[in-house]
Amino acid sequence: MMSDKKIYLDYAATTPVDKRVLDAMLPYFSEHFGNPSSVHTFGQRTEAAIEAAREDVARILGCNIQEIIFTSCGSESDNLALRGTALAMRHQNGSNHILISPTEHHAVSLTAEQLRSHFGFELEYLSVDSFGQVDPEEVEKRLRPDTAVVSIIYANNEIGTVNPISEIGAICRERKVAFHTDAVQAAAYLPVNVNQLNVDMLSLGAHKFYGPKGIGALYVRNGTPILPVQTGGGQEFGLRAGTSNVPYIVGLASALELAEQERDARRNHVQPLRDRIISRVTDSIPDVKLTGHSKDRMPNHASFVFQGVDGNELLMMLDIEGYACSSGSACKTGDPEPSDVLMSLGYPTLWALGSLRISLGTHTTSEEVEAFLDVLPHTIKNNRQLVRAH
């Protein structure tokens, strides 16, 4: 059955820009267009907008304005944190060891892999439990005197699991090792106070919390050694050259402010819908497992593996029915390989290939969820029949 109205259940891939955020951005395209590095009034006006945005972000993160670096996206923030700190630490004291979890976003894991393959760093992966959660004691055991940087994802985009960042951060702090967390997925719903989290670096990307795509931020605690990855002009305290993207910086700050103000209301809206999906799917469909943690998980996030299902085919079948979901990370769509994250949790390939992620947002209604839950069981059944016929 072809449906005209498409229902969006993929907020972990990206979110629509909030109308209030768009309104805040619009004057900075054509009206207030000056280069914020210029001395004249045109420049002063946009510089003031950037500095106001930086103050807003710093207040929400609980840090100083000099500790906020605007970047082009969450991926760039992750790259700057990992590559910048690893290279600076090695230059400073010869540290050569990088410690990450096996459930990092590719923006972290492939940066770390490149630091290993092309820059001679020693890369070590922590182990995780079957929910994809890192044990702080495990971090403590693996830290070495020559560890340059530790990076652990705050909330995983594929399986929704939330890590005990504050506990891990306390351990790294005691051992004086730089600790980065990728909070790109987490920031939409979880607290981002960098002192409560005990982090030295934290990555954000606006499009995961109703801001625009193509803008991110990196928190860098004062005193953390970090080498700029992009050199040129002195913007962003010399850590990120390039004329500032004024409207998008304004948009990121506005979106983060709204996320902070509306955090509880947003959570209260999505969490019961998520719980409804998890219980209905696990009760009504055979050979299914919830992936990720049952309690320590993103409130808008439900993810599963179905034995004997072709995940990519399932997404296409659901799209025809009118539902936009994901099999995990948006970057992997069309890739027949099972996800690294699911494989690191120990799922057999036949399960890992049948993954489905449903992520909800402010616009999701319970009618949409019920309609989806009515369609899913027979879609899974048809998919399994197709897989068996091949």
Ligand X SMILES: *Cc1c(COP(=O)(O)O)cnc(C)c1O
Stretch that binds ligand X, among 73-81, 143-151, 233-241, 364-372 (CB under 6 A): 73-81
157 binds ligand X (CB under 6 A): yes
Smallest gap from Cβ 372 to ligand X, in A, equals 22
**Residue number with CB closer to ligand X (67 or 78):** 78
251 binds ligand X (CB under 6 A): no
Residues in 308-367 at the binding interface with ligand X, rule: CB under 6 A: none
Smallest gap from Cβ 284 to ligand X, in A, equals 29
Stretch that binds ligand X, among 67-75, 91-99, 252-260, 361-369 (CB under 6 A): 67-75
Smallest gap from Cβ 181 to ligand X, in A, equals 10
**Residue number with CB closer to ligand X (188 or 288):** 188
172 is catalytic: no
How long is the chain?
390
Q: Which of 68, 73, 178, 217 binds ligand X (CB under 6 A)?
A: 73
Smallest gap from Cβ 134 to ligand X, in A, equals 14
Q: Which of 36, 46, 74, 360 binds ligand X (CB under 6 A)?
A: 74
Q: Which of 89, 128, 148, 184 binds ligand X (CB under 6 A)?
A: 184
The size of the interface with ligand X (CB under 6 A), counted in residues, is: 15
Q: Which of 107, 256, 341, 369 binds ligand X (CB under 6 A)?
A: 107
Smallest gap from Cβ 82 to ligand X, in A, equals 12
What sign does the CA torsion over 51, 57, 63, 69 have? negative
Smallest gap from Cβ 318 to ligand X, in A, equals 21
For residue 65, the tally of other CB atoms under 10 A from its CB is 14
216 binds ligand X (CB under 6 A): yes
109 binds ligand X (CB under 6 A): no
SS (HEC) of the chain:
CCCCCCEECECCCCCCCCHHHHHHHHHHCCCCCCCCCCCCHHHHHHHHHHHHHHHHHHHHHCCCHHHEEEECCHHHHHHHHHHHHHHHHHHHHCCCEEEECCCCCHHHHHHHHHHHHHHCCEEEECCCCCCCCCCHHHHHHHCCCCEEEEECCCECCCCCEECCHHHHHHHHHHCCCEEEEECCCHHHCCCCCCCCCCCCEEEEEHHHCCCCCCCEEEEECCCCCCCCCCCCCCCHHHCCCCCCCHHHHHHHHHHHHHHHHCHHHHHHHHHHHHHHHHHHHHHHCCCEEECCCCCCECCCEEEEEECCCCHHHHHHHHHHHCEECECCCHHHCCCCCCCHHHHHCCCCHHHHCCEEEEECCCCCCHHHHHHHHHHHHHHHHHHHHHHHHC
Q: Which of 84, 132, 205, 361 binds ligand X (CB under 6 A)?
A: 205
Smallest gap from Cβ 186 to ligand X, in A, equals 8
47 binds ligand X (CB under 6 A): no
**Residue number with CB closer to ligand X (45 or 105):** 105
User: In whole angstroms, what is the distance from residue 154 CA to residue 62 CA?
Assistant: 17
Residue number of the CB closest to ligand X reads 74
Residues with a catalytic annotation lie at 331
Residues within the interface to ligand X (CB under 6 A):
73-75, 78, 105, 107, 153, 157, 182, 184-185, 205, 207-208, 216
